[in-house]
Structure 1
């Protein structure tokens, strides 16, 4: 194996993209699209990749079945268990006669403020504004669904983003959860890529058959790239033929 091929193996294991690995290994950016997949077809390169992948799995104490189970868990987890965009009831949705609803603590604070204002007005000789109105009906519960008959929000409710307590997640949701980041715009919830997990699971189970399963690492990518190369070669042959017919020669060869 050449030094450049050894670098390709290392970079492929890092990014799992043959074209990108070929670029990183020093191959021409113009030809990396087909050189990378062709390198994967070389027996000694494919064997080196497989050997290092197996060693990596052993270090991580994982096997193919374990990875398949992990990808399956991530691919099928319900992201709504972690993050939800909901529309909950507004303050009038479930009030008696669609009146404004308080929580118990809010009602107590509002009543105290009202009585302080009332006392201040009376001390200055003003007219009595009366006692704070008693609550009729239930207390406000933000978890309820919007009332479609509500004349205030017209059944649209109040939109909001809700993040679950990660201590209470199911095993599937824990596998999908990738962490959080706090910034100026609030909390950003990170999730593992479910589409990527689905693709990996499909390859492991042989669902994707763009290329034979025995073709080795990167078989799907290789097959698509080689189709592209074949079309490009046909196009180049047609161009050369046209040049010859015009009495011209194409002396430029891609290195």
Structure 2
């Protein structure tokens, strides 16, 4: 804090001292400027120099930049060290919970976008885009799973502490993600993505043969992949409905956990 400010007033008072010495003005002006930089405009106009207005404007611009810079640095430092007064376990809990929240939200957004791209596309560019996006979604799933594992292990290790501090709801997050319905939903999502990507890649590699109906072998293979894809979609939808029902009931019992759970969709 005040890194820019102190540098600024040292330079400002130094310049004032040099100017006072050069023009035979009272040198204590520099001390006043050092103690209270806002008095600088007064001494600028009192000095009687011809370019007083220019100097005043330069001072105001510099003072504004310094003020904005200090506010920015302070806000960054405050955000960085806002949890320093808390015990290490609490800080770690906050960190893990924020990671879980962020990765869960990212995965939810990716799944919403996938729904918009879930139809088998009719041109190569769209097919390629969707294949690439599925890869990105898989990474979002991995990040979310890693965050869940991290949170679950941490909460399990400090369960007694959280119970003592009336933070039992934190442990409930572990119970949610360890529930067989939630686990089954994740597995069904992985199966859905596998089958969807397989179908898309087959269509991408054999686009002309499929769209122009040039090969009965390719069309038969397409029907096979599409049937697997539809089964995977139906299976995922069933598991997702169960997950939503379970999650809605879970949130009613433990509303504090809502921010750390998947979207209700």
The interval holding the TM-score normalised by the smaller chain is: under 0.3
Bigger fraction of residues in strand: 1
Give the alignment's TM-score, normalised by structure 1. Answer: 0.22
Bigger fraction of residues in helix: 2
Give the alignment's TM-score, normalised by structure 2. Answer: 0.22
